[in-house]
Amino acid sequence: MNIQDYTVSRSTRAARVALVVTALLLVILFLAPWWAGRADMRLMGELFLYLALASLWNLMAGYAGLVSVGQQAYVGFGGYMLFASTIFLGINPLVAIVFAGFLAALVSVPVAILMFRLRGAYFAIGTWVVAEVFRLCFAQVSSLGGGSGTSLPVGIVKSLASERAMREALSYWLALGAAVIVIAAVYLFLRSRQGLALTAIRDNELAAGSLGIDIWRNKFIVYVVTSALTAMVGALIFLQKLRITPDAAFSVYDWTAFVIFIVVIGGIGTIEGPIIGTLVFFALRETLADLGTVYLIVLGFVAIVIMLRAPRGIWGLVRSRYDLEFFPLSYRVHLKAAKGQDGN
Amino acid sequence: MDWLNAILQGTLLGGLYALFAAGLSLIFGVMRLVNIAHGDLIVLAAYLGLTVTVGTGLHPLLALILVVPAMGLIGYGLQRGLLNQTIGQDILPPLLVTFGLSVILQNTLLEAYTADPQKLDAGALETASVSLGGLTMGILPLLTFLIAIGVIWGLQWIFYRTALGRAFRAVSDNQEIAQLMGLNRRHIFGLAMALALAVTAVAGILLGIRTSFDPSVGGARLIFGFEAVIIGGLGNLWGTLAGGVILGVAQTVGAKIDPGWQLLAGHLAFLVILAVRPNGLFPRISG
């Protein structure tokens, strides 16, 4: 056979259909302030922020092999930086979100240098220690309320938009925007040269290293970028809540355990996984909310069962049955339509 | 003298942290498993102690007779029924499963015992003290420290002087070849977890006598134990005791400077040692 008999492409029909459906869905979601109630918009906003957190954790753990249980450090840091920079420096809250991301990137550099000395599971718990250090430090800052926390002053809240409906719409759009930007960034990053190196590291670190990929540098870049983006999502979370305390800001269960459950339930190492996982998580939460702590027990069981029975998650189950990829990352070889025959 | 006192109290506190850490160190050494639910299991042991003491009127230290075997059985069952399925090259399954376990344990304890802080009543033992050249030592912290030394000595003895210890070291060195030599590694792992949780039972009861506890305090105990293991160096049990002491001293000295600094000082000591000696002070195996 001749080399011209083949073409190599990434796109598939499913992906093209998915692109159109996603675009339509985004338009509908963008218009939510005109068709959804306040409670629904709040819930969807929260869902988008969890989706962003899950996608970021998935990039770190699923692709760069950095299994962190300390991402609450950056969620809380972002939240506190939003409060500090708007209250003390008088920065506009929208600018403060970006500023929080920038500061988090700076802080994450020494943290990464220190934590990368730990391997595997010890890296995981080491990051948790860092998050505890952040929590204890912010609990010492009396001008931010110390251990009991503080609220965002009314003047700053009003500076977003004077009307309540407009503020709620804006907060919703920011959450939607955060999810879209994070997923798009992860997707484009993984399709780039860097992403290819990252996927190689995920599949076999030793082989990737021997092919000349700088493993430390690649992981470092991913850590710093996800930390910055996680902090921006954290700023958005506490812009929505309008109140921050050290315990809420640096909660290992809210910002890491649930995020890990989401990613594993949906399917780690895929872009689609966190999306499915977030939907399942919120469906579980909304149906079992009346049961209180029983809901968390059920969630723990679901996560354990999925990890043991279907370690690639729900999306992994789907992919093993159907050859689907809505966010095409892998390359496919197609036979060219030779002699009137569709060789796809 | 105040500073000397702070260092002394910190050293004794380090005994408790070494007990938190010993179980963690043991299971990591034998099967490379890091158990996120370790702290919650310590709290579970404290609650079991509470049920036993309230139910039978036994002294908390005598309740150990029931709680230690109970935790050992739980450990064996947990390992054979659940955790053995997660052992492998990938670190995510054990991490996620023990995280799930941690959430389940915490919320089950919350359902069973509510969020009210509880304490084990050890009577006169709680306040008794001895004076030594101007320094005063509580009997309970001193007893805790001596128990920690005893437990670590016992673990060392099991590891290096018994057939069970030989089996532990064999599966730790090479699981496949140990299996070929006729060891059932699933059973050995079960015994290692049983032993680890028996130690955890001691740690939980002593924690419950020393301070009040509620279902949410497990995470911090896990972190203290983890820090003691890393400071001391992986795979070295006496190192773990030294790590616990360093952590305890850092905390009490930090608290002496400013009460709000107690926990922070401990964490910072850990980070400094990590920066200077990434493998801990006395490492025996590489992570």
Q: How far is A229 from chain B (nearest CA, A)?
A: 23
- Phi and psi angles of residue A90, each rounded to the nearest 5 degrees, phi first: 65, 25
The pTM assigned to this predicted structure is: 0.89
CATH number for the domain whose boundaries are B2-116+137-276: 1.10.3470
Give me the mean pLDDT over the B172-200 stretch.
Answer: 90
Domain boundaries, chain A: 49-250, 258-323
ipTM (interface pTM): 0.88
**Whole-number pLDDT of residue B285:** 59
**Whole-number pLDDT of residue B221:** 93
Which of these, B3, B29, B277, lies nearest to B155 by C-alpha position?
A: B29
Domain boundaries, chain B: 2-116+137-276
Residues 6+ apart with CB under 8 A from B92: A61, A67, A264, A268, A307
Contact state of B34 with A304 under an 8 Å Cβ cutoff: no
**Whole-number pLDDT of residue A32:** 82
Query: Is pLDDT at B197 greater than 80 in this prediction?
Result: yes
- The chain A residue lying nearest B271, using CA atoms, is A114
**Whole-number pLDDT of residue A341:** 45
Q: Where does residue A292 fall: left (phi above 0), alpha (psi -120 to 50 degrees), or beta otherwise?
A: left
pLDDT tens column, B205-227: 999 999 999 999 998 999 999 99
**Whole-number pLDDT of residue A192:** 87
Q: Are strands A332-335 and A6-9 parallel, antiparallel or unpaired?
A: antiparallel
Over pLDDT 90: what percentage of chain B? 64
pLDDT tens column, B58-100: 999 999 999 999 999 999 999 999 999 998 878 888 989 999 9
Which of these, B24, B62, B78, B74, lies nearest to B230 by C-alpha position?
A: B24
Q: B69 and chain A: CB distance < 8 Å anywhere?
A: no
- The chain A residue lying nearest B216, using CA atoms, is A253
**Whole-number pLDDT of residue A145:** 85
Of the partner residues A268, A297, A307, the one whose CB lies closest to the CB of residue B97 = A307
Q: B285 and chain A: CB distance < 8 Å anywhere?
A: no
Contact state of A304 with B267 under an 8 Å Cβ cutoff: no
**Whole-number pLDDT of residue A336:** 67
Q: What is the DSSP string of B63-109?
A: HHHHHHHHHHHHHHHHHHHTGGGG-SS-SHHHHHHHHHHHHHHHHHH
pLDDT tens column, B18-67: 999 999 989 888 888 889 999 999 999 999 999 999 999 999 999 999 99
Q: Are strands A332-335 and B129-132 parallel, antiparallel or unpaired?
A: unpaired
Q: In chain B, how many H helices and how many E strands?
A: 11, 2
**Whole-number pLDDT of residue A337:** 59
Contact state of A118 with B263 under an 8 Å Cβ cutoff: no
Contact state of A132 with B34 under an 8 Å Cβ cutoff: no
Give me the mean pLDDT over the B146-168 stretch.
Answer: 93
Of the partner residues A118, A133, A140, the one whose CB lies closest to the CB of residue B267 = A133
- Please give the mean pLDDT across all residues of chain B: 90
Of the partner residues A119, A294, A304, the one whose CB lies closest to the CB of residue B100 = A304
Give me the mean pLDDT over the B135-160 stretch.
Answer: 93
**Whole-number pLDDT of residue A52:** 96
**Whole-number pLDDT of residue A1:** 53
Name which of A4-8, B105-109, B151-155, B189-193 the model is least confident about.
Answer: A4-8
Contact state of A301 with B104 under an 8 Å Cβ cutoff: yes
Which of these, B41, B32, B2, lies nearest to B225 by C-alpha position?
A: B41
Q: B108 and chain A: CB distance < 8 Å anywhere?
A: yes
Its sign, for the CA torsion B139, B140, B146, B150, is positive
Of the partner residues A122, A140, A304, the one whose CB lies closest to the CB of residue B97 = A304
Of the partner residues A117, A139, A311, the one whose CB lies closest to the CB of residue B278 = A117
In the predicted model, residues of chain A with pLDDT beneath 70 are 1-4, 336-344
